[in-house]
Structure formats: C-alpha cells, structure tokens
Amino acid sequence: MSPTRLAADVFAADPAVQEAKKTLLETLVRHQEGLTGIRAADPERAASYRRTLESFGGQRGGSLFYPYLGSGLGRGALVELDDGSVKLDLIGGIGVHYFGHSHPGLAAALLDAALSDTVMQGNLQQNTESAELVAALLALANQPTGVETTGGAVPGTPLAHAFLTTSGATANENAMKIAFCARQPADRLLAFSGCFAGRTLALAQVTDTPAYRAGLPRALEVDFVPFYDATHPAESTARTLRRLDEHLARHPGRHAAMVIELVQGEGGYYPGSSEFFTALCERLREHEVVVWFDEIQTFGRTPRPFAFQHFGLGAYADLVTVGKTSQVCATLFAASLAPPPGLVSQTFTGSSSAIAAARYVVARFSDGDLFGPEGRVDQVARRFAAGFDAIAARHPGWLRGPYGLGAMVAATPFDGRAETTRALLYALYERGVIAFSTGGRIARLRFLPPVAVIRDD
C-alpha cells in the first residue's frame, strides 16, 4: 500500500505554483541586469536618505558604521542602496553573504520557504527541512578526505549531533554549556590571546578585547595562551604549550574546554598550522579537555568546507560551531558530549527561510567546485594576493600582506594604526567598495568576498 501523498507535496508540485515561481525568478534576473558596476548615489535621494539614517541611528542607540541602508536588490558582489548608489561588497555582512546579493538559487529556496508553514521553527515545532539540514551538516563535517590538506589525511571525525540556532554567539553559548556539563565540576575555559568568540555576557569574557566587556560583571574564568607565530613556528609552539601547562597545573581538572580559532579573525587574520594545532590538541587530550573549534567565520572559507579539515584535525573535533555563511548557525558535537534533556533548548532555532537558505548553502558546499587546490576559494585567494602584490610593487610602503587563509583575506595599510585603517575604509566606501577592519594590535583591512558569485573582473 503506497503512502498517502502529502497535501504539501501536491501544493508544491501544482503547475500554477511552479509557473509563478519561474516567473518571479526570471523577473528578478531581468531587473538585476541594470546593476552592472559601482554607481554613485542619486543627489535627489540624498536628503531623505540622510534623514532616515539619522532617525534610525537615534532609535537604535548609535549610528551605523557605514551609512548603509540596502534597497533590497543586488547582483552577486554588487548591492544597491536606498540612496541609489551601487557598491562592490567585499565584506558581506562580515562573512554572511557568501552568495552575494539576490542570488537566484537562494531566492528560489526562499520562495519555497515563504510558501511553507511554520515561520519560526524550534523547540516544539520543526519541519522536515530542519532534520535534512542537520543530516547534511553532519555529513559535510564527517566526509572522508580526498582533497590534499596541510596535515595530510583527515581521520574520520567523531561528530554525531548538531543543534541549530539563530546566531553564532548562541552556537558558542551552547558549546560552552555542553562542555561544562560533560566535564563538571570543571568551571574554566582556555582560549587564545586575541580571540573573538562573541559579545554575550559570558562570551565577552572569552573574547580577548577588554573594551567589549567594559562595565560588565565577570561571568566566567578564562585562561589565555599565545597564538601561533608563523615567523617562529617551533618557538611559538613551545611557548604556547609551556603556558598551557602552567594553566593546567595551576587549576588541575578545572578546564572544561579550549575554544580554538583556527584562523584568528578579529585578532588580525592569523592562521595557525597543522603541526601547531596537533601538538596543542594532543596536550588537551592528555588532560581530558574538550577540543572546541570555533568555525563561525572560517566555515566555507578555507580550501576545505571546515578549517579543521584543512588542517587535518578531524580526530580531535569534539565540538565545532558554525555560522555566518551557513545562515542558520549550529553546534556540532561528539556522542560522548550529548547533554541531558533540557540543557540545550530554544523556543526557536531559526526561521523557515533561514533554514532553507542554509540547506542551499550546504548543498553547494558539497558539490565539489568551491574547494580543493583548484576550487573557487583558492582561486579568489590567489587573485587577491596577486592584486596586493601589484599594489605593493607600484607603491612601496602602502600595503603589506596578504594575510589570512583562503577567502579570509587581510592586508595592513600604511602604518597599520586604527585611525589610518578607518580613514581608508571610509575612503573606499565613498568610492564604492565595502570592506572592514580587524581589531587587533595592528588594524588591517579585511575582506570576506562572496566566493560563490564574485567574478574575476
């Protein structure tokens, strides 16, 4: 006896629905054709645009970093603003817009979500796409090697579970709860100097930027170790292990986990190395400290979908957090860390539209053309590097770099002071290019280009 055909499937397959979606998407593409390059603002819209910005800034309690209010339409790396200008977006909401603006494939997924029941999915009510997304994320994280990495073969990862959530900070909060529960009564964390983990009350203690926790009560004890120094690899590895041993000896059995950025983002776009991370993870294993890879920014931006795969660290991945590019964020964790019921739970874990977008992203990450030695991530990285080298050759002292890994690209402009870099950012913005800065001791220009759609020109 064949199963009952679902009303939802009949509706989705209705010729009228299919034709309406096709018409909408074709119309979207037609209207995108007018966005061909950077365009200056329309003077006739300037006054009303400025009033809206001022009003919005006052109502939200602070002005925007850029005078950016999108119109709702874009084309790949180009985005139209409500003042009539068109910008080249090379930061993508700090890494969120991997597929750029108004991507037809994403739009098709979002149309399906708009016609689907349950606007917000969560604790009591989820649709089948949540189950499909979790399965796809775990399959991607546990995929066998087949792509050359800096660390050689990637052992199979032990990740068995994935919990969806609405933000990278919440994914990290869930990771902390899982680690503390699994290693109770441990009550401390380890992290790298210069790390960024989020801005919640607890994560502000992990984030190694005092200004981000000014005025906040102390909520968590965190011990910091130095990050990798590529100019002195052996010495820096020994220094980090020595400092780690000091913390472990001073607080025996008290460290539940270490949060590890494999490429420091806010700290300056510094990548580590396979040898460095392997030595660190081995030491953490010896002391039963949970290894937690924070991939909120690195997911999809290194030569493998996950940076831990690129560095050959799959055997050590107890906890992995992803976000930004994935649209819906997630905490992936090993079966041995499974928490008791109720410890990790949310009224809603994401909107149907965000979950649909995430499924599209993960499917594209699995299809083979973005990653590997000739993948688009590597092509974009090489193109940035060549461009920076050309600028440095023409203008010695203007630019140093590139730094980072894959499609996480940074360069130090001029003297590297925060004031200089900020001035350059605003100058770029006025000329139609959107970038951002890192917040480390040296302020660098940073770029998170929309890898899947940006054109070589």
- The CA–CA distances, whole Å, from 39 to 67, 71, 72, 132 equal 15, 14, 16, 41
For residue 118, what pLDDT is reported? 87
Tell me the C-alpha distance between 240 and 262, whole Å.
Answer: 14
Tell me the C-alpha distance between 411 and 90, whole Å.
Answer: 13
- Close Cβ partners of 198 (under 8 Å, ≥ 6 residues apart): 168, 169, 172, 173, 204, 206, 207
Pairing outcome for strands 221-225 and 399-405: unpaired
pTM of this structure: 0.94
For residue 152, what pLDDT is reported? 43
- Close Cβ partners of 13 (under 8 Å, ≥ 6 residues apart): none
DSSP string for residues in 238-290: HHHHHHHHHHHHHSTT-EEEEEE-SEETTTTSEE--HHHHHHHHHHHHHTTPE
pLDDT tens digit at each of 457 positions of the chain: 778 899 999 999 999 999 999 999 999 999 999 999 999 999 999 999 999 999 999 999 999 999 999 999 999 999 999 999 999 999 999 999 999 999 999 999 999 999 999 899 999 999 999 999 999 999 999 987 544 444 444 455 689 999 999 999 999 999 999 999 999 999 999 999 999 888 888 898 998 888 888 888 988 999 999 999 999 999 999 999 999 999 999 999 999 999 999 999 888 899 999 999 999 999 999 999 999 999 999 999 999 999 999 999 999 999 999 999 999 999 999 999 999 998 999 999 999 999 999 999 999 999 879 999 999 999 999 999 999 999 999 999 999 989 999 999 999 999 999 999 999 999 999 999 999 998 777 899 999 999 999 999 9
DSSP string for residues in 414-457: TT--HHHHHHHHHHHHHTTEE-EE--SSS--EEE---TTT----
For residue 145, what pLDDT is reported? 52
How buried is 272 (Cβ within 10 angstroms: 0-12 exposed, 13-18 middle, 19+ buried)?
buried
Q: If you search the block for the tokens 């985005």, which residue do you land on?
A: 79
Sign of the C-alpha dihedral computed for residues 65, 68, 69 and 70 taken in this order: negative
HSE-CB for 446 with a 13 A CA cutoff: 29
Cβ atoms < 10 Å from Cβ of 129: 21
Q: If you search the block for the tokens 């008290």, which residue do you land on?
A: 254
